[in-house]
Amino acid sequence: MDGVRKTFDEWAQNGRAELMEVEHGKNVSKFLESISFDESFSFLDVGCGNGWVIRKIGKEKNCKKAIGIDKSKKMIIQAKKKTGSKKEEFIHTDIESWKYKGKFDYIFSMEALYYSDSIENALKKIYKLLNSGGQFFCGTDFYTDNKATARWADIMKIQMHLHSKREWKKFFQNAGFQVKTKHIKDLKSRKKWKREFGTLFIIGTKV
Ligand SMILES: C[S@@+](CC[C@H](N)C(=O)[O-])C[C@H]1O[C@@H](n2cnc3c(N)ncnc32)[C@H](O)[C@@H]1O
Range of 163's domain?
3-12+40-205
> Could you tell me how many residues make up the chain?
207
Query: What is the tens place of the pLDDT at every residue in 34-85?
Result: 999 999 999 999 999 999 999 999 999 999 999 999 999 999 999 999 998 9
In a domain, residue 163? The reply is: yes
Average pLDDT of span 179-184: 98
Query: What is the tens place of the pLDDT at every residue in 10-22?
Result: 999 999 999 999 9
Where does ligand 1 bind, in terms of residues with CB under 6 Å?
4, 8, 20-21, 24, 46-49, 69-72, 75, 94-96, 110-112, 115-116
Cα distances (angstroms) measured from residue 9 to each of 14, 113, 121, 180, 198:
9, 17, 23, 33, 27
Q: For residue 9, which atom of ligand 1 is closest to its CA?
A: 25
In a domain, residue 30? The reply is: no
pLDDT at residue 150 above 90? no
Question: How far, in Å, is the centroid of ligand 1 from the Cα of 48?
Answer: 6
Please state the domain count of the chain: 1
Q: Which of 70, 94, 143 to mutate to test the pocket of ligand 1 (most atoms within 8 A of CB)?
A: 70
Alpha carbons 205 and 200: distance in angstroms, whole number:
16
Residue type (1 letter), 85: S
The C-alpha angle with vertex 42 and arms to 26 and 206, in degrees rounded to 5, equals 90
Alpha carbons 207 and 198: distance in angstroms, whole number:
28
Residue 167 sits in a domain whose CATH number is 3.40.50.150
